[in-house]
Amino acid sequence: MEFNFLQLHLKRHNWREYLKRDNPAAADLMSCMDYRKEEKVQLKVEFLKMILRIRLDPARMQLLIGFFETYAQLTLQEEEVVQRKLAEELPPEEVREMTEIITSYHLRGREEGREEGRKEGNITALLYPGYG
């Protein structure tokens, strides 16, 4: 049995070439493409504007944001710059919509982290009674 696959070398593609495509996969894969470190903030701003333009439901938007953030991780300061740029570049209703989506995504992540912490605490208590 022989398998033949086409290869797509994402690092050979510049993310800016995909900005005008209203394709959720292209939006997400921009996080894996060629960009300089100093472009990360603009990359995320353009990604968020792109998924707003595509008009997906909140669940799909959160899925795309999760994927994107896995590969294009920004610092807290860079995230603040992203928020400021979005507020400057988007109409207020779109800023509100994006803020709600991002906030609910982060709140869910925090809750998952708390749950994981509780589980680890329970395991520690079982393994080391009287610890802590």
pLDDT at 119 over 80: no
pTM (predicted TM-score): 0.68
Calculate the average pLDDT of the chain.
81
C-alpha torsion angle, residues 87, 83, 65, 20 (rounded to 10): 50
pLDDT score of 42: 93
Q: Give the pLDDT of residue 125.
A: 64
Q: Are 118 and 80 in contact (CB under 8 A)?
A: no
The predicted model gives 105-119 an average pLDDT of 67
Domain boundaries, the chain: 11-127
At 41, is the pLDDT very low, low, confident or very high (cuts 50, 70, 90)?
very high
Q: Is 24 exposed, middle or buried (0-12, 13-18, 19+ CB in 10 A)?
A: middle
Q: Are 104 and 62 in contact (CB under 8 A)?
A: yes
Which residue(s) pair with 47 in the sheet? none
pLDDT digits (tens, 9 = 90+) for 52-76: 888 888 788 888 888 888 888 888 8
